[in-house]
Structure 1
Amino acid sequence: MAAGNFNPFRIVAALYVNRYLLGQLIKRDVLLRYRGAMFGVLWIFLSPLLMLGIFAFVFGQVFQARWPQQQEGLPFWLILYSGLIAFNIFAEAVSRAPSAVRSYPSYVKKIIFPVDILPLVPLGAGLVHGAFNFAILLGALAWTGNLHGQVLLFPFLLIPILLLALGFSWFLAAWGVFIKDMTQIVPLFVQMLMFMSPVFYPVSSVPEVLRPIYLHNPLGAVIEAGRAAAVGASIPWAPWVTALAMGLATAILGYAFFQHSREEFADVL
């Protein structure tokens, strides 16, 4: 592998140069998903709103569930929703990554096309949906009387997950070219990972012998930090910084692996 592929500044510069093309591909991806639907792109807003309404009814009215040691008056479903926002961005990017390159064989065979931006398209689409989810979270916090300034840190706290998703997307996009089964395998692992991460429960509820695993899980660290920002609690910065370092390392390694593998893409496709 070329040494330049491990240079984070070179990676950022390459993505910046192709920012317009990447933006157009993300826009196309999002619009195609809702093309032909009666409500069109309004589903970007309606889907998370309906999901939040179902959470409020099932967990608030039917189960009347409460978060362990949760603050008085803060609905369980809002705490749960804040964790899902972070995880869903990662899940959408990683689940679709194996087909990110394979779906565009005509682009791959064009020498001048920057193939390395294709795995970023699912991540960009996930960010678009995540932005609407966050807007709904703000509205729900305001509606329940729990809105506060610390929640504005929520997008910043997602950086480690974005880097982690970026690295895995480059890895999986490259593998997906050679191994078709990746498109079936990865979504299953992502679904398993959702239950193995503190999305539906806090780390404090995990048996003490397993807590070190959860504390060193970058997904778990970011979900816990984002949830703390959403509810106005103290943010656990130490695990978050560790997750940031792990996310950065994953992104650099993923990019290097993708660049090393891309020379064979055209032959396979």
Structure 2
Amino acid sequence: MSNESAIQIKAHPSNPKGDGVGMNPHQAHPASPLAMFKSLWHNRSLIWQMTRREVVGRYRGSVMGLAWSFFIPVLMIVVYTFVFSVVFKARWGVGGEESRAGFAIVLFVGLIVHGLFAECINRAPELILSNVNYVKKVVFPLEILPWIALGSALFNSLVSTVVLLLAQIFINQSLYWTSMFFPLILLPLVFASMGFTWFLAAVGVYVRDIGQVTGIFTTVLMFLSPVFYPMSALPKEYQVWLQLNPLTLIIEESRKVLIFGSFPDWKAMSIALIVGLGIAVAGFWWFQKTRKGFADVL
């Protein structure tokens, strides 16, 4: 057995000897909210190690290495800015003279939020299918795979946020202190993303077509979210429907703290956090209840 598998087996509490003996892929697993946080805490070191390995492994062998994680968001913001502000002559309408670079910064916030959610959702259906050995051959806490996917997505979002803040400093010669609230704004999205990832990871084992659906869904969601336009640009009758989009509040509040230097709507964010936690608990429950059938299907 490889060193990688040995580390993973040792990390699981149900197999303290690390020998894989007595493994039962059909056993029931705790699915309570407390079990969700216990699993995260108990396996925090393993999650960190595997997330770091995944991030580094993504760029291993390339000439630029991790520099690609910085170059890609810069390239994308340049492309989107050219298309929407030069070709389509789009303007955000924030008052005063709005430069193309200023439009790019506002637009980039929406891309960061959507990108975090989309990366988790798009990877979810393949999480178990691409790690069959963890299901059949070793005792492994499968429920941490979505945390690893989230960690990788958060790394990309962190790099993109650094690019955004640097652009703020060089272009607008300002950086609002309210930017420190940005991680709190993302917290409801983090929990909601985890819930959907657990759910789709489990469903993806039984319904292989779900991977095709998620790609289409996240693409459509990008254009049905206030990424390339402000919500105020829509007629009032459509704004009501746009507010049902879970990304709308997160994107709008993120722009408040990062771009406009305003305080977030704490009441709305508190409600969003409760909803996000509810989605996470429901997704974790579904994953834990359905995982005992993974070995039979795979």
Structure 2 length-normalised TM: 0.83
1:65 to 90, 99, 102: 90
Give 2:135's aligned amino acid. Answer: V
1:141 to 161, 168, 171: 168
Pairing of 1:1-269 with structure 2 (within 5 A): 5-7=31-33, 9-59=34-84, 65-70=90-95, 73=98, 75-110=102-137, 112-144=139-171, 145-231=173-259, 232-269=261-298
Tell me by how many angstroms 1:71 deviates: 6.2
- Distance between the aligned counterparts of 2:215 and 2:59, measured in 1? 21
Give 2:115's aligned amino acid. Answer: N
- Distance between the aligned counterparts of 1:28 and 1:229, measured in 2? 32
- Distance between the aligned counterparts of 1:70 and 1:263, measured in 2? 56
Secondary structure of the 1:118 match is helix
Contact 2:39 2:144 in 1 (8 A): no
Tell me by how many angstroms 1:5 deviates: 2.1
Give 1:147's aligned amino acid. Answer: L
Tell me by how many angstroms 1:28 deviates: 2.3
Contact 2:29 2:289 in 1 (8 A): no
Aligned-residue CA RMSD in angstroms?
2.1
Secondary structure of the 1:68 match is coil
Contact 2:191 2:279 in 1 (8 A): yes
Tell me by how many angstroms 1:58 deviates: 4.4
Give 1:139's aligned amino acid. Answer: L
Contact 1:218 1:247 in 2 (8 A): no
Q: What CA deviation, in whole Å up to 9, does each residue of 1:218-246 have, x standing for no partner?
A: 21111110011111235333332222221
Contact 1:157 1:226 in 2 (8 A): yes
Q: What CA deviation, in whole Å up to 9, does each residue of 1:122-150 have, x standing for no partner?
A: 21111010010011111000001231111
* Structure-2 change in CA distance of 1:257 and 1:116 (3 Å): same
* Structure-2 change in CA distance of 1:135 and 1:154 (3 Å): same
Contact 1:218 1:246 in 2 (8 A): no
- Distance between the aligned counterparts of 1:176 and 1:37, measured in 2? 31
Q: What CA deviation, in whole Å up to 9, does each residue of 1:152-194 have, x standing for no partner?
A: 2112211111111100000000001111111111111111111
Contact 2:50 2:148 in 1 (8 A): yes
Secondary structure of the 1:160 match is helix
Give 1:34's aligned amino acid. Answer: Y
Tell me by how many angstroms 1:111 deviates: 5.5
- Distance between the aligned counterparts of 1:217 and 1:60, measured in 2? 25
The higher radius of gyration belongs to 2
Give 2:35's aligned amino acid. Answer: R
- Distance between the aligned counterparts of 1:260 and 1:40, measured in 2? 40
Give 1:119's aligned amino acid. Answer: P
Give 1:6's aligned amino acid. Answer: S
Give 1:138's aligned amino acid. Answer: L
Contact 2:78 2:104 in 1 (8 A): no
* Structure-2 change in CA distance of 1:242 and 1:4 (3 Å): same
- Distance between the aligned counterparts of 2:82 and 2:174, measured in 1? 18
Contact 1:219 1:243 in 2 (8 A): no
Q: What CA deviation, in whole Å up to 9, does each residue of 1:20-76 have, x standing for no partner?
A: 111122122222222222212210111112223334444555555321335655711
- Distance between the aligned counterparts of 2:78 and 2:41, measured in 1? 38
- Distance between the aligned counterparts of 2:127 and 2:96, measured in 1? 42
Tell me by how many angstroms 1:217 deviates: 2.6
Identical columns (%): 39
State the partner residue of 2:7. none
* Structure-2 change in CA distance of 1:225 and 1:71 (3 Å): farther
The gaps in structure 2 that reach 5 residues or longer are: 1-27
